[in-house]
Amino acid sequence: TRIFADLVMMKDALRLAVHLKRKVKEPIFFKIVQGDRGRVSHVARIGTEEELKLVLPYLMEAYRTSLEE
């Protein structure tokens, strides 16, 4: 099983990192890191329901990609 995301609970928000096979230019991601094996980690701070809705498609993409490996 591949790790497709990391979640950290902070005092006032969540910090979510999704690991994709591509680089995404989306303002919600404040940090983007090229990793090994072609993975690109995208980190977002989620403090509202709207921000959660923005990252959910990328979380689903990361999950589906992990199933293919």
C-alpha gyration radius of the chain? 12
Q: Is the pLDDT of residue 57 over 60?
A: yes
Range of the domain at 42: 5-68
Q: Is the pLDDT of residue 64 over 60?
A: yes
Q: What is the pLDDT of residue 37?
A: 80
- Nearest to 19, CA basis, from 7, 5, 32: 5
Residue 37 φ then ψ, to 5°:
60, 30
Please state the domain count of the chain: 1
As a whole number, mean pLDDT of residues 39-47 equals: 97
List, for residues 13-25, the tens digit of each pLDDT value: 999 999 999 999 9
Supply the pTM of this predicted model: 0.91
Average pLDDT, the chain: 95
Helix, coil or strand: residue 8:
strand
